[in-house]
Structure 1
Amino acid sequence: MKHSILDTAKKVHFIGIGGSGMCPMAEMLYKRGYIITGSDLYESETLDRVRALGIPVTVGHAAENVGDAEIVVYTAAARKDNPEILEGNRRGLAVMERSVMLGLITDQFAKSVAISGTHGKTTTTALITQILVESGLDPNAIIGGKLPLIGGNCRVADTDYMVCEACEYVDTFLQLHPHISVITNIDADHLDYFKTLDNIIKSFHQFASQTSNIVVVNGDNLNSMKSIEKIENAKIVTFGFKDTNDYYPLDMNEEPTACEDFTLMHHGEKLGRVELKVPGEHNLFNALAAAAVGDILGVSGEQICRSLGNFTGVHRRFEILGEFNGVTIADDFAHHPTELTAVLSSAMKMGYQKVWAVFQPHTYSRTYDHLDEFAEALSISDRVVMSEILAVREENVYGIKTADLAEKISNSVWFDGFDEISDYVIEQAQPGDLILTLGGGDIYKCANMIVDKYKKK
């Protein structure tokens, strides 16, 4: 175990503590005896949960929020002129971006498992956590979404096992040096930073080269396989549909169902039968990756298959919010054309009369870079309703608007605000329809608004 500032400093302040990557780290450190404070711009359910632990949180950013902290951790979304970052620097404190802290935390565990990939990180991290918890291996975990089994997105245990997500954006995953790493897939994304797909593959190669024991990689994904070429420091284990992989499915249900069931195979040996409760072919890949990690860590095939079948999903991954007047409302984090294609293809197999894709485009650069692919993916659904593009961290130097996307999708409409969107879909949707909100931003608020308005009707 490496020595770090966490061995001596005990007071940590989190700027943007309500973020999905920040709150589980704060919770983990708090439960391990550190004194934690935090700040965020807005009230949220997450802040309520953090406060319920006993962590004091301030809404709004100010220098005095830093208090007597020895370490200041900031979210990637924080601006450089944030008064708390400036105060930490002025006082000579250890000021670090969240990925650096995640690296320090994971370095404290001898058996760390880090899950990377353009798509499927959160679900695969949650699946692995589910397998390890139910097998009795008692892991620590930091997940980008809430896992029902552990009642949140953080788990603290007194073992050497740590499961966490490894996000590639701005190369944050290069702060990690895992015992086992997973590469779910590699796709063109975050081109505002990486510029080219080749640069993305190079970064994943570097991540794989920082893995000390085993790299579990999607053998069916050409970009993923390119990324592990000439990796000599770790053993390569593959998963995928093809039986040339180390882990693959056999005897899949031939009926066109939303959820896959299959026999889990390892080198020609049957490990057991899996009946997934989460829809989509993409979740079969996530399950195979998780199964490989479980098997590597010594979990029995029977237990792996049972845990995969027990898994009901994570927050904002095809999360059913309710049914009102015969209309089902669901929410999903999909914000890249590949993810939208996977989710909408699954939804169209579920037997709904019509599938309504209610989409919030996420960042100008992604919308601009993948405009035609977004149009193609969204066109899978029966009806498309969109909001304006969520800027996140960008200026609109591309001159791109949702109207440009709407022009490419027949039968689509767009509105400025969630209020108008919710009124429109409630007015138009019929019994038997699915209203599915999609996006990586705050489109979930629109889903909640739709639910609230149905309840009031």
Structure 2
Amino acid sequence: MTTYHFIGIKGTGMSALAQILNDSGEKVQGSDVEKRFYTQDVLEEKNILILPFSEDNIKDELTIIAGNAFSDDHPEIRKAKELGLTFFRYHEFLGQWLKQYTSVAIAGAHGKTSTTGLLAHVLGETYPISYLIGDGTGKGHVDSEYFVFEACEYRRHFLEYEPDYAVMTNIDFDHPDYFTSIEDVFDAFQSMADRVKKGIIACGDDEQLQEIQAKVPVVYYGLSSTNDFQAQNIVESESGTNFDVFVRNTYYDTFMIPMHGNHNILNALSVIAICHYEGMKAKNIKALSTFKGVKRRFTEKKVEDQILVDDYAHHPREITATIDAARRKYPSKSVVAIFQPHTYTRTKTFLQEFADSLSLADNTYLCDIFGSAREDSGKLTINDLQKLVENSNTLDIDNTGVLAKHADSVLIFMGAGDIQKFQQAYEESKLPNEPIIKRKNA
């Protein structure tokens, strides 16, 4: 029996794929750095072996799946190629694996992870399914009818896939270390659309997506009346959002989601549209109301009179949406943004846009830029952003206790790096008579 060896198994996509193969009856192991990541908890629960990186891990009879973060000169990858082992990059293997299912790719500059999780939840209440979510969650089932997965546009990796369906949430300029312009991003999505076999579910409120040309049917969803699936009569409460759905201007049904903000309504509409297209009944699609969320997407915790929110937002548009969701859910509370920019390239490209979005909070704290070892900072520092944001200060790991002065507020910890360590340090500072414990490798 083949053993699949994952190089970089703690990565979010890699961890999820390893879980899927394990659940499907395959033998799985992997390697990574020894620093602990949240993704390894479930791997350990499933008794999936995790080894420290070493070329000695690579032996005959292994099939290798390498994470996209690792170059060809990585010792394990070099050894695998020397031995002539069967070798895949993550996106290459996923492209092969999904062919055995009715596959649904979730693509978009923003909202991929939340939408993938939401669709997997709703379909999974009716069918045996497999899914791969970008928060490190994956599930396989030997009798799966559907395979729902997150399809990332970075370096055009999603062009390895030929899905039956694609949900496209939006097109926006991001990953400026790879894409040159919004036109370059659009070109990637157009190429993706050309590879879809049955149908595309696209947000009609997005101007870029309106221009997509496809050889398969395109169903549009959104808040405007020109869409095939439209949300109307939106009512928000602290517990979530209710809205009516009209299909081609005819009332279909009323749905509830336990989230806030128009971005979450749009995500839900995309799920309703694909499920309707596949013939599911409205009563089954209403499983939307029991969705528990995905990791690091408006994940809440109450500490005394404060609400602490952990969120992956790392682009100005995502920050705006997250702050808006907090205001809608907690209209009487102040909103405090604690933000760690991710990569010097993105920070430099969107410096003013970051300032504009963060200015929507009542107060802002900025952590040092989480840069890549492969990047040149170009002398950019967090102070360059701080100068542009009113009511802002810088924050380091040793002075998180300053956040305690924001009583009865929502504190949103945002970023794609290791912003969680700032939230953890703050929570530990609130423990009575206990010092802040600095984590190893924090």
| Residue in 1 that maps onto 2:439 | none
Task: Report 1:9-408 matches (<5 A).
Answer: 10-41=2-33, 42-59=35-52, 61-109=53-101, 111-134=102-125, 136-145=126-135, 152-226=137-211, 228-229=212-213, 231-232=214-215, 234-253=216-235, 259-304=240-285, 306-321=286-301, 323-349=302-328, 350-392=330-372, 394-408=374-388
Judge which range, 394-403 or 210-219, deviates more: 394-403
The number of residue pairs the alignment matches comes to 431
| Residue in 2 that maps onto 1:442 | 418
For 2:406, which of 424, 429, 436 is the aligned residue?
A: 429
409 and 320 in structure 1: CA distance in 2 versus 1, 3 angstrom threshold: same
Contact 1:117–1:167 (8 Å) recurs in 2:
yes
Judge which range, 308-317 or 117-126, deviates more: 308-317
Secondary structure in structure 1 of the residue aligned to 2:167 = strand
Q: CA RMSD in A?
A: 1.8
- Distance in 2, matches of 1:202 and 1:343, equals 28
Cα offset for 1:38? 0.7
- Distance in 2, matches of 1:271 and 1:456, equals 53
- Distance in 2, matches of 1:328 and 1:252, equals 25
TM-score (norm 2): 0.93
257 and 242 in structure 1: CA distance in 2 versus 1, 3 angstrom threshold: farther
Cα offset for 1:116? 0.1
80 and 456 in structure 1: CA distance in 2 versus 1, 3 angstrom threshold: farther
- Runs (4+) off by over 6 Å: 255-258
Q: What is the percent sequence identity of the aligned residues?
A: 31
TM-score (norm 1): 0.90
Cα offset for 1:258? 8.7
258 and 223 in structure 1: CA distance in 2 versus 1, 3 angstrom threshold: farther
396 and 424 in structure 1: CA distance in 2 versus 1, 3 angstrom threshold: farther
Contact 2:19–2:139 (8 Å) recurs in 1:
yes
In the TM superposition, what whole-angstrom CA distance separates every residue of 1:239-291 from its partner, at most 9, and x where no partner exists?
A: 011121111112222x6979432101111232211122111111011011111
- AA aligned opposite 2:121: Q
Judge which range, 392-401 or 354-363, deviates more: 392-401
Contact 1:11–1:68 (8 Å) recurs in 2:
no
Judge which range, 434-443 or 41-50, deviates more: 41-50
Cα offset for 1:310? 1.7
Contact 1:99–1:175 (8 Å) recurs in 2:
yes
Structure 1 unaligned spans of 5+: 1-8, 147-151
Contact 1:140–1:159 (8 Å) recurs in 2:
yes
456 and 80 in structure 1: CA distance in 2 versus 1, 3 angstrom threshold: farther
Cα offset for 1:155? 4.0
- Distance in 1, matches of 2:219 and 2:198, equals 11
- Distance in 2, matches of 1:311 and 1:258, equals 12
Contact 2:132–2:150 (8 Å) recurs in 1:
yes
Secondary structure in structure 1 of the residue aligned to 2:331 = coil
